Amino acid sequence: MSDQVQTFQIGDLELELQTSSEVFCPNLTTSRIAQTIEGIEGKDVLDLGCGCGPLAIFLAKHGAAKVTAVDVVPRAAQIAAENVKRHGLEDKVTVHCGDLFAPIADQKFDVIVNDVSGIAELPGRAAGWYPKDVPTGGEDGANVVIRMFQNVKNHLNPGGVLYFATSSLSNVQRILDGANEYLGQKIEELGAFRIPFSKELTDVIDELTKLCEQGAVSFEAKRSRYLWTLSVFRVQMP
């Protein structure tokens, strides 16, 4: 186990956070999601898949009245709680450990920010984003997000908002089909960001190409570079 304190750019904030080699570490995806979130002042917010707590802390610092953070990995929940204390936000942020909505029973929220795994197993492990004990989204990256869609309406207040992201290193169409099936509301794309492959992803390009041919992932080839796409979406309940 390797723990350290690092500074991360999360949206418009630089946050000092404890991290661990055992948990998901904040990355560019985390920051891009933060950049798209609006209108959380005074709201009751749920951060699903909180990792070491960057988005929960970001939301609290941007005016959320209350933030509930959940992660399925016990060590992640422990570190997230420590980071909440580091930033003096214990009165605004509560951290739970469990699978998706299991730890919060029948609670409802004004805003839910979903950052649970939307990355396929191969690229998630190869890139180093997912340590061995952190679950990915399965072979095509869609499984966990679709499970979230199945229950999310039960945890949103009337007029509530869900934010979620997709990565083209997953089966985006299956994820969006799941959103349409279970949410039944207009899905608004807030932004799409093209991100170059890391060396680790380039090293498994043959395997990724096979997954692409199967429809499990997609990416672009431009000259000598490969690019994947992160998209952030917003859904508002009636």
Give tens-digit pLDDT for 133-171: 788 888 999 999 999 999 999 999 999 999 999 999 999
**pLDDT tens-digit profile of 205-230?**
999 999 999 999 999 999 889 999 99
* 41-89 confidence digits (pLDDT tens): 999 999 999 999 999 999 999 999 999 999 999 999 999 999 999 999 9
121/130 Cα distance (integer angstroms): 9
**For 181-213, what is each residue's pLDDT tens digit?**
999 878 999 999 999 999 999 999 999 999 999
Q: For each of the domains in the chain, give its residue range(s) and CATH number, in order of start.
A: 3-236 (3.40.50.150)
Task: Find how far residue 11's CA is from the centre of its chain.
Answer: 14
Q: What is the pTM of this model?
A: 0.94
Q: What is the predicted pLDDT for the residue at 137?
A: 85
